[in-house]
Each structure stands twice: as structure tokens, then as C-alpha cells.
Amino acid sequence: MSETLFPQSSTLGQPVPRYEGRAKVTGEARYASDVRLARTAHAYLHMSAIARGTIEAFDLAAARAVPGVIDILTHETIGDQIRQTPAIYQGGYISDSRRPLGSAEIANWGQPIAVVVAETFEAAREAAHRIDVTYKLHPSLAAGMNSPSATTQTLEPMTIGVGDFDAAYAAAPVKVEAHYSTPAQHQNPMEQFATQCVWESDRLTVHEPSQYVNNVKFGLAEQLGIGAERIRVISTYVGGAFGAKGFLTQRTALVAIAARRIGRPVKLVATREQGFTVSGYRAETRHHVQLGADSEGRLSALRHEGWELTSRGDAVAMGAVSMTARLYACPNISARVNTVATDRSTPGFMRAPGEMPYAFALETALDELAHTLDMDPIELRRVNDTRTEPVGGLPYTSRSLMRCFDEAAAAFDWKRRTSQPGSMRDGDWLVGWGCATAFYPTYAGNSAARVRLSANGRVHVSSAGHELGQGMYTMMAQVAAEELGVPVERVTVSLGDTDLPPAIVAGGSSSTASVAPAIMAACDAIRRRLGVDGASPAEIMPAMEASGIGVIEEFAETRPHGVPPDSMKGLYRGKTFPVGGVHLPDRVQFALGAQFVEVRIHALTHEIRVPRAVGAFAAGRIINPRTVHGQFVGGMIWGISSALHEHTEIDDRNASYINANLADYLLPVNADIIDVKAIMVPEEDRLVNRAGVKGVGEIGVVGVAAAISNAVFHATGRRLRDLPIRLEHVM
């Protein structure tokens, strides 16, 4: 197998330690709120305390009286300084369609309604708490999906119909039908939502952690009504993002306006609680799944309908039936997606945004089918494995699903499993083993990069891609080192700055797949300059020496397969998004994997533990097994967390978040995690992109929740179809 893979190299595929490792262990890495600007004033947000209504009056007297207060921004004081602009879902930039401090209207709990600016953080905080607001309450849909008068809307473009589902389901000898649900969850990156803005004459610099600096730049220009060339956004390091920092939020324009009003730099660090409504989140979902199969387990009918909570202002849906309908061979499919509009802040993206909840539903239903058939769940996946997706008949560019199942099953020692629920009890511990498929679409988008080669063998790579912790600095250095035949230690990298060549949003597991080809193309241009087009890496430096040239710098932009040519201008306007997965005319492209978990439930205390998890993933070429391993393992722990820990709890009276802090919003800590093993299954796919990379940031999350619920069933005989699964559910 290995001889068919990309050629072995000295750099690519090697576990090179992190480029920025020393900076991160010494405290030298400067995150947005670490940047020190002279004469900085501090901002503090005041958030709405009701679900829906109107601000009748502000009493700001006590706040203004706090020593050190400089300015207070409300919808009354800033007027029309911030323009109404379309949301990202409407072709714009901002993560929801509400104009920041746009009016007296309250659309959700936790909406920023005032900003205090003061000499110190302490004064700003005190004054923000002294703001008194008189609200006029309006009837609200505060009970989320349970709100009786919430409007449900079917998203017709997401509807899928193949064959005749109803007839096939009616005729199927074996059937499974069930409803599933997943809760609201929040990304909670360790770094809070910070923004620093400084104006120098008419030029604005923004320091803000971002997955897409050019989105912030162009969106802010639109909001402020100024030329984008006057704005620079810098995000050198990001303290975790997970989708929360993908797009412009309301806070940035507020800090920019505040800094302009007082003529000083202004720094905002939203509190952890405020962060729950500053950006988007994973909204509640519900699912209805019906599976029909023959006695051998071959699917004849598959139906998956999803419901997703959204805000009244923005119909946002992740809609991953587009993927669950295409995973397995099945001639009769019906799938659709609905939004349920309520009085909550607009949802957004959270690591494996649609894939996590929709995979939970489908992969749990498949386990129910396997149990009904008395069939090994791996074998159920095998008889339904396919080389073409069943909706449009398009080929997978590559698909190593069963190899992942076989490798993970061997590592897990699955053959020792006895299928009867409750049959593997170990003393006081009920033991269950479960598995599920992991999938994530392979995306990429337009990106640009600049590469500079010096005669002394030093290389500098620059691109406005982003380091979120996935290892972007390291991997981009490896790509350039490989292409130009220099040691990786000779390569320096700049990322996360709008002054650099623009790149795609760091989302959809697409960064490496998008930016690596741009670096490769820039290296091609260097070869052409040297007159050694097509030369091997080893020939580059000798050619450079022979040329007598001191420095060569080349720029390149790349457009992945399936992206229309006229989209390239979007790259230069902060509008480049991931393309691929199921959205190509001629093929589908996915990374695939298999998740296995052991669950132990104590018979007396009902404590639920996951002592071990094994995942095997085939995701094309692995640039750096060290950083990729971190992505897989981290993703799998996110999966454990999605099943057992995370649940944003909501007060039905005012749609407030009850547990908006890191003590009550449960996240895994070190003691929760014992043995998590990630296997990288070799896979070559030369079609997906020039780098052969499928993306690894999100797939690790997908399927774990189903594997856990399947293991809980195996341990207890109880099928739990609603996340999270807590000890009170297994009593």
C-alpha cells in the first residue's frame, strides 16, 4: 500500500515540532488582548436581561458618576454611526443581521445594549453594573423548540428525494424509527472574545482573535462606511476558536466607534458569560429517522428529517442531511431540514457544526437496526458501503471507511465483544462497547500566498491564513521546505494579518487544503524564475546559487476544483468560503473514519466513564502526524464531551443561559480523559487538491456521541436518544 502513496520526503509527513512552540511555553506568544497600546481605555459591555422587548429608558447617572468613566455608548448616543449590513447568510459579513446598538429593540437575552469606556477595567465594570434599564416586555418565544407558537419553516433547497421512500419503507421487512435530540452547546474557546481598536489619523488597526481577518476587515469597513484599505486586522495567535471566531460579531464595530469617539485605543475583553451571546453557538436540534432494510441489513429506505433552532432574525441551519443521506448505499431516500425561529441569539458554527448532531441521529439509528437484525454493527456498515453516493450517483474521490473500521476494531479488540446488552458486566461496572462512522466533507477555497527565497537558503512564507492551534505555522513551513528543498528550520511564516496575501476562512477543516496549494504554486513561480520549471527540490538551491540572484519573491493564488473562476474577486473582499463535500457537480469528497468507545456505568452510583476510545481516520495526506494527532485526539475528546458533558441550560422565562460559566457548563477536565487513541489510516487522494489533504480539524468529533449512546445501550439495554447522557438518565 505504501508504495502507492505520495513519495516519502524529508519534511512532509514528518512529526515536526510546533513552529511557535517556544513562544507558547514562555508566554511570548501575543494574543489579541496581550498587545499593549499606549493610553488604552477599557470597555465593558452591558447586556440585555430580557428575551424580547423594548428599552424604554436608560438611567446612566450612577454609571457616569463612577470615577474614571469616559464615555457610555447606547443606541441613543451613537445614532447612525454603525450602518445596517447584511449577515453572512445573506451574502454579507457579520454573524447576525442585527445592527450593533441599532435601536431600542431587544431580540434576545444577552444582547449588547450599552458599552462603558473608562480609564480602568475596574471602573468600566463597576459603571456597566450601575446602568439601570427600564424595559417594556413583549411576549417572547423563550422556551426554544418547546415554544408553542414558534414558527417552523422547511428549507426547500435542502430537501432530498430519491426513489420512493414511502413505498420502500412500507415494504421493508426490517424497520427502525426513532426521534433524537441534541442540546444547545457553546464553543467556549479558552481565550475570551477580545477586541482592541486603535485609530491613527483615519486608519484603524484591530487586534482581535479571528478565523477570518479579511471578513472582519471588509465587514467592518461596510459597517463604518469607510474604505477597507483604511482597516488592518491582526490575529497572530488565536486562543482556540472552534467556529466561535469565524465571522464579525457586533462587538468589533462598537469598540472601533468607542476608540474614534475618545481618540484613544480601546480594549474590550467580554466576560465568559457575555461570550455566550457575543458570537454564534451550536443550536438545539431534533431528528426523526426511519430506516428500512432487508434481512441481510441492506438499506432499502432512509429518511432523515432535522429541526434546528434559530433566531427570529436569521434563518440559520447546518442541514447535514445533505451528508447523512449520502453516506450509505440506499435506493430510496427522503430528507429535509426545518428551522424553528425563537427569541434567542443567532446560532452559528461549532466544530463539526451539522455533522455532530446529524451523525448522532443516523449512527444511533443504524445501531438500533443492527440490534434489531442481531447483526454486528461493523458488518451493517460493510454491507451498505458504497463507492458512489446514492442521491446523485456521484463517485467518492476516495473512500476508506471499512479500512478505518477494520483497523480501529483490531486496535480496540472488538472481536471480544459479546453482543447481548449487559453481557460484559465487570463487577459493579456495567460495560458497553459501541462504534459509529465518522465523516467530514473535504473542503477548500481560494487562497493566496507569497514565498520569498534568499540566496542564503532562508525562506519566508506569508498568507492571511490562521493559526488556531491546528499547527498551521508548522505545516506551512513544511510545505515550503519540501517544495524548495531547504531544511524546515530555515523557513519562517507569517499568518493572521490582512496586510498579507488573502486566504480562506479557517473553518470547515479547509485551511491546509486551501493554503498549502497556494504555497506550492508560489514555489512553482520561483522555479520558473530560476528557469528550472519542474525541477526537483534538490535542484532549487544549486539553481539559485548559479543564478546569482539574491532574493526571489513570488505571489500565487489558487482556486480549487469546483470553485467558479469569477469567485476569485471574493478572495480580495473577505468572501472566500469552503467549497467541496457534497457541493460539487461531478463528485463527492469526504474524510471518513470509525469511532469505538468503551463505556463503564457504575451499577450503584450510575457514574458514567469512558475509559478508552479508539478512532481510525482516513483523511488523505497527513502533512504533520504530530499536529494532526492532536487534532484527532482533541476532536474525539470533544465528541466525548458532546455526548456526556456539554449542555447550555436555558431558563424558559427569559431565554437566559443558566450555566454561562466554566464551572457550570461542563467541559472535560484531565481526570475525565484516560485512554484516547487515534489511528491514521494511510490514504492517497490526488483528486481533492494538489496537496492531497482532506482536512482533520473536525472529523474527530463526528460519530463519538453515537458510539457512546450505542455503548450505553450495550451496557444497560437502554437506548438513550437525547444528549447529553447524564447519570440521571441511566438510573
Contact positions vs another protein (CB under 8 A) = 17-18, 20-31, 33-34, 36, 120-123, 188-192, 237-242, 269, 271-272, 468-471, 626-627, 629-631, 633-634, 637-638, 641, 661-663, 667-676
611-635: burial string, b at 16+ Cβ within 10 Å, e else: ebbbbbbbbbbbbbeebbbbbbbbb
Least separation in angstroms between residue 669's CB and another protein is: 4
Least separation in angstroms between residue 457's CB and another protein is: 24
Least separation in angstroms between residue 27's CB and another protein is: 2
How many residues are listed for the chain in this entry? Answer: 731
416: which residues sit within 8 A by CB, 6+ positions away? none
CA angle 60, 64, 65 (to 5 degrees): 120
User: Measured from the CB atom, is 218 or 237 closer to another protein?
Assistant: 237
Q: Does the annotation count 539 as an active-site position? A: no
User: Measured from the CB atom, is 66 or 513 closer to another protein?
Assistant: 66
Q: How many DSSP H helices and E strands does the chain contain?
A: 18, 28
User: Measured from the CB atom, is 469 or 695 closer to another protein?
Assistant: 469
Q: What letter represents residue 476's amino acid? A: M
- In this structure, the number of other CB atoms found within 10 A of the CB of residue 554 comes to 18
Q: Which of 222, 389, 554, 698 is catalytic?
A: 698
User: Measured from the CB atom, is 348 or 630 closer to another protein?
Assistant: 630
Q: How many Å apart are CA 309 and CA 342, to the nearest integer? A: 7
Least separation in angstroms between residue 677's CB and another protein is: 9
User: Measured from the CB atom, is 626 or 690 closer to another protein?
Assistant: 626
Least separation in angstroms between residue 515's CB and another protein is: 18
User: Measured from the CB atom, is 225 or 611 closer to another protein?
Assistant: 611
Q: What letter represents residue 594's amino acid? A: A
Least separation in angstroms between residue 665's CB and another protein is: 9
- In this structure, the number of other CB atoms found within 10 A of the CB of residue 122 comes to 13
Report residue 356 as a C-alpha cell.
Answer: 455532530
Least separation in angstroms between residue 205's CB and another protein is: 18
58: which residues sit within 8 A by CB, 6+ positions away? 74, 76, 114, 131, 132, 133, 134
User: Measured from the CB atom, is 487 or 611 closer to another protein?
Assistant: 611
Q: Distances from the Cα of 368 to the Cαs of 176, 293, 380, in angstroms?
A: 7, 12, 11
477: which residues sit within 8 A by CB, 6+ positions away? 16, 19, 461, 488, 491, 492, 493
> Among the residues of 131-282, which ranges form H helices?
165-171, 213-224, 250-262, 272-278
DSSP readout, 383-417? HT--SB-TTT-PBBS---HHHHHHHHHHHHTGGG-
> Which residues does the annotation mark as catalytic?
698
